[in-house]
Amino acid sequence: MSTFQRIGLILLLLLSGLGCNAHGAAGRESDASPELECVRSNVATFARRWINGDFHALASVATSTMSLNLLQVPAEPDAAQDTDLQDTAAPPIVVGTKHSPPFAIKNNDGTWSGISIELWKNLCGELDLQYEFRELSLEQILQGLQRGDLDAGVAAISVTAERHRQMEFCHPHYATGLGIAVSRHHRASVLASIREVFSFRLILFVIIMACVVAFCGWLFWTFERDRNETLFGKGRRQGVSTGMWWSIIVLLGHKGIAPVSIWGRVLATIAMLASIAVISLITGVVASALTVRQLDIGIAHPSDLQHVSVVTVSGSTSADYLRSRRIPFRVYATPDEAMRAIDEGKADAVVYDRALMNYLALLEFNDRIEVLPVSFNSQEYAIALKPDSELRRPLNEELLRYRATDAWSDLLYRYLGESQ
């Protein structure tokens, strides 16, 4: 073998040795790989054949060793790159929700649907966001967002000034107001019935009649004191009181009164004719009030809530409204439980979101509950986010785009029978 061939073989051996060093540096913390053992075996074979003078075999061993090293060295960076990609995979967004039909409905199979839920699914689909739902109470959702344990809250969550200071909100997607629900077959309490019978109009009517009786009593005394001294001739006070007694008896239709004077008889005749109208009017007012009490509990305005038993949902804006108006109330965990309370006669009225109560009254209570045609304390529903959330801007942009499409109108019509 010539000198140049020997020099070439030595260079090949050096290159194979560099490969072995690279493998050794990469594998210091772990056991030797099978490939590295193969390299070491080739080096030993190289040495033996150098001694025996088998130069052609030396060339093949050195070449195979170098090729193996060159093929194995780049494998390490690829594995590290795969690890980096796995580490940078974003975790799913944690979304708190609660059963609040028609905005958030938990189906029998555990899936979720509803206006707010389907809106959220559409937004996440367009933004390629992964998420998972967690069923919580309203108070737990709000507290979780404040602490940062939740990324978003999707249900019937209204925007208030206090909540806005504690968390982020997307643009509102539905405007509504509070309403009052009552049972169609609920009988009012005795106290409420008495209050309705003795209304302001009836009390005013009684005062006017008392004035008429006093005036007629004075007229009877004036007309009869000279002709009927036995009853009216013992002084003004006794005469007027006797005249008032006559007026009451005549107005009630008693026929035992016989005035002596002509003007006294005329007055008695007029009073007896008027008594027919007065008695009919009083009977009609009382009967009408009692009939109305059998149909409803006399609530036509939020101010009427002071005199009835009121329930609402814990932690809701309706509870804040009742508390600010100093209206006594009891709370239930869900709207279903609150409406079941009036259906079973445990309460007189529910104060809560009007759209939600309309949905429940129609689908779950078979119209046994009536939502009164009154709306107050307007409010807006929106997607709630944890403080300083990076999701607010992209969600808002996609929300504005989606609300301008027919798909949003179709979604509202599907759940509410109307488009906002």
**pLDDT tens per residue across span 144-165:** 999 999 999 999 999 999 999 9
Tokens standing for residue 372: 């009164």
SS (H, E, C) the chain: CCHHHHHHHHHHHHHHHHHHHHHHHHCCCCCCCHHHHHHHHHHHHHHHHHHHCCHHHHHHHHHHHHHHHHHHCCHHHHHHHHHHHHHCCCCCEEEEECCECCCEEECCCCCEECHHHHHHHHHHHHHCCCEEEEECCHHHHHHHHHHCCCCEECCCCECCHHHHHHCEECCCCEEEEEEEEEECCCCCCHHHHHHHHCCHHHHHHHHHHHHHHHHHHHHHHHHHCCCCHHHHCCCHHHHHHHHHHHHHHHHCCCCCCCCCCHHHHHHHHHHHHHHHHHHHHHHHHHHHHHHHHHHCCCCCCHHHHHHCCEEEECCCHHHHHHHHCCCCCEEECCHHHHHHHHHCCCCCEEEEEHHHHHHHHHHCCCCCEEECCCCEEEEEECCEECCCCCCHHHHHHHHHHHHCCHHHHHHHHHHHCCCC
pLDDT averaged over every residue in the chain: 76
**pLDDT tens per residue across span 170-192:** 999 999 899 999 988 654 455 55
Name the pLDDT band for 32 (thresholds 50, 70, 90): very low
Helix crossing, 34-52 with 55-72: angle to 10°? 160
**pLDDT tens per residue across span 286-298:** 666 555 554 445 6
Cβ–Cβ contacts within 10 Å for residue 337, how many?
14
β-strand partners of 385: 152, 168
Instruction: Please tell me which of 24-38, 70-84, 267-281 the model is most confident about, judged by mean pLDDT.
Output: 267-281
Residue 239 φ/ψ, nearest 5 degrees: -65, -45
**The pTM of the whole model exceeds 0.85:** no
Name the pLDDT band for 18 (thresholds 50, 70, 90): very low
Which domains, ranges and CATH numbers included, belong to the chain?
A: 3-86 (no CATH), 93-173+382-416 (3.40.190.10), 192-295 (1.10.287.70), 298-379 (3.40.190.10)
